[in-house]
């Protein structure tokens, strides 16, 4: 799969738009032209969607950023992090993960150098955004997040094949990504006192035809695995405050084109809950896992995304449509 920049997408999309402008071609034929161009450039599904959106005039090329046409559905935030919530330092997170059964034997090679490198970048930690809850500047990056790399975890604990080869098969895969979350991540969550009543409402429906990471997330994670000698990565992280009030579609666009980051999947956010269970212990706490996609059986496409939520005295995992926006929904994001 080939990655393209926003500028390249605008160029290719604009060329397509110019070709079909005033032609009265049916949408099916226009989409076929887009698909042909995508195949010619060896692009993935998300890039095809981006080019199509440009060609249909749904996105505009402003002086600073590409604007998501879906952002108009966002809501004003009505909730913040739980009271007194604060992310712990990366060393404490490592200790918490190594104390689990799943992550205890993993290597921390290279982690110290990565963490120190990011902590030295003062400009990053000074970045702010305007939090719509109070209209005041808020720190963009909460802290470094530490997480185990999925491909390396899978290879260590399973002999069923390469997880990324399986993800690349799309809905025809054998469900390794879902098995990673259901078989390795969720049991560790349930061992934490605050998550003893954790419920997965998508239990046994997380095969490849239903549950996958976004193409961009899969590429990002594989890049990390190729660059890091050990089994853990760490990156500057926002645990959902920046995207509070955004629907998942808008969160994905804002992460990519406004703050050079990426929405994180269940695998990363779940480890964040292992190391920071207080993030989800207040009733109404909500975390979008925007780096994943979900498809109900009646849907042709992956139109939903999973989330963690706390309600009725228990935390749980479920899914909802990516266009839904709520004043307290929010997707965590990681600096690339």
Secondary structure (3-state) at 214: coil
**H helices, E strands: number in the chain:** 13, 12
What is the C-alpha to C-alpha distance for residues 89 and 13, in angstroms, rounded to an integer?
A: 43
User: Do 170 and 26 reside in the same domain of the chain?
Assistant: no
State the total domains in the chain. Answer: 2
What is the C-alpha to C-alpha distance for residues 75 and 89, in angstroms, rounded to an integer?
A: 31
- What number is the average pLDDT over the span 47-57? 55
pLDDT band, very low/low/confident/very high, at 160 (cuts 50, 70, 90): confident
What is the C-alpha to C-alpha distance for residues 240 and 309, in angstroms, rounded to an integer?
A: 12
Residue 32 confidence (pLDDT)? 63
- What number is the average pLDDT over the span 225-247? 96
- What number is the average pLDDT over the span 107-119? 97
pLDDT-wise least confident of 85-94, 165-174, 268-277, 294-303? 294-303
What is the C-alpha to C-alpha distance for residues 115 and 84, in angstroms, rounded to an integer?
A: 24
- DSSP single-letter state for residue 182: I
Q: Is the pLDDT of residue 47 over 60?
A: no
User: Do 139 and 189 reside in the same domain of the chain?
Assistant: yes
Residue 258 lies in a domain: yes
What is the C-alpha to C-alpha distance for residues 132 and 127, in angstroms, rounded to an integer?
A: 16
Q: Which domain holds residue 43?
A: 6-67
User: Do 54 and 175 reside in the same domain of the chain?
Assistant: no
- What number is the average pLDDT over the span 223-235? 97
Residue 1 confidence (pLDDT)? 40
User: Do 37 and 162 reside in the same domain of the chain?
Assistant: no
User: Do 21 and 55 reside in the same domain of the chain?
Assistant: yes
User: Do 33 and 151 reside in the same domain of the chain?
Assistant: no
Q: Is the pLDDT of residue 196 over 80?
A: yes
Residue 1 lies in a domain: no
Residue 60 confidence (pLDDT)? 46
Residue 313 confidence (pLDDT)? 79
Pick the last residue of a domain from 67, 83, 114: 67
User: Do 63 and 78 reside in the same domain of the chain?
Assistant: no
Residue 33 confidence (pLDDT)? 59
Residue 216 lies in a domain: yes
What is the C-alpha to C-alpha distance for residues 238 and 140, in angstroms, rounded to an integer?
A: 7
User: Do 230 and 290 reside in the same domain of the chain?
Assistant: yes
Pairing mode, strands 199-200 and 314-321: parallel
User: Do 238 and 187 reside in the same domain of the chain?
Assistant: yes
Q: What is the pLDDT of residues 238-254, one digit of tens each?
A: 999 999 999 999 899 89
Residue 27 lies in a domain: yes
What is the C-alpha to C-alpha distance for residues 269 and 39, in angstroms, rounded to an integer?
A: 33
Residue 272 lies in a domain: yes
Q: What is the pLDDT of residues 122-133, one digit of tens each?
A: 999 999 999 999
Q: Is the pLDDT of residue 36 over 70?
A: no
Residue 66 confidence (pLDDT)? 41
Pick the last residue of a domain from 47, 67, 87: 67
Residue 198 lies in a domain: yes
CA distances from 299 to 32, 169, 206, 302 (A): 21, 19, 15, 7
Pick the last residue of a domain from 50, 67, 84: 67
Residue 156 confidence (pLDDT)? 87
């Amino acid at each position: 799969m080939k990655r393209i920049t926003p500028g390249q997408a605008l160029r290719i999309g604009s060329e397509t738009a110019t070709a079909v402008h005033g032609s009265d071609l049916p949408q099916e034929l226009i989409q076929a032209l887009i698909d042909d161009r995508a195949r010619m450039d060896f692009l993935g599904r998300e890039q095809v969607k981006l080019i199509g959106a440009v060609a249909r005039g749904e996105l505009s090329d402003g002086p600073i950023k590409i604007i998501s046409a879906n952002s108009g559905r966002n809501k004003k935030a009505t909730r913040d992090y739980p009271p007194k919530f604060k992310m712990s330092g990366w060393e404490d997170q490592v200790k918490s993960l190594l104390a689990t059964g799943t992550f205890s034997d993993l290597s921390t090679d290279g982690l110290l150098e990565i963490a120190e490198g990011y902590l030295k970048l003062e400009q990053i930690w000074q970045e702010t955004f305007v939090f719509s809850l109070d209209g005041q500047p808020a720190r963009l990056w909460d802290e470094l997040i530490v997480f185990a790399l999925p491909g390396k975890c899978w290879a260590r604990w399973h002999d069923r094949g390469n997880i990324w080869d399986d993800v690349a098969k799309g809905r025809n895969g054998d469900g390794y990504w879902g098995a990673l979350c259901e078989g390795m991540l969720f049991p560790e969550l349930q061992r934490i006192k605050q998550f003893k009543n954790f419920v997965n409402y998508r239990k046994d429906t997380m095969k490849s035809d239903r549950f996958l990471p976004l193409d961009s997330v899969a590429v990002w994670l594989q890049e990390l695995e190729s660059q890091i000698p050990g089994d853990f990565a760490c990156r500057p992280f926002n645990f959902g405050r920046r995207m509070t009030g955004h629907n998942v579609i808008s969160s994905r666009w804002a992460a990519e084109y406004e703050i050079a980051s990426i929405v994180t999947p269940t695998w990363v956010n779940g480890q964040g809950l292992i190391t920071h269970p207080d993030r989800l212990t207040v009733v109404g706490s909500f975390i979008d896992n925007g780096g994943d996609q979900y498809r109900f059986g009646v849907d042709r496409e992956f139109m939903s995304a999973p989330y963690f939520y706390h309600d009725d005295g228990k935390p749980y995992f479920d899914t909802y449509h990516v266009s839904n926006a709520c004043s307290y929904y929010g997707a965590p994001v990681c600096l690339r």
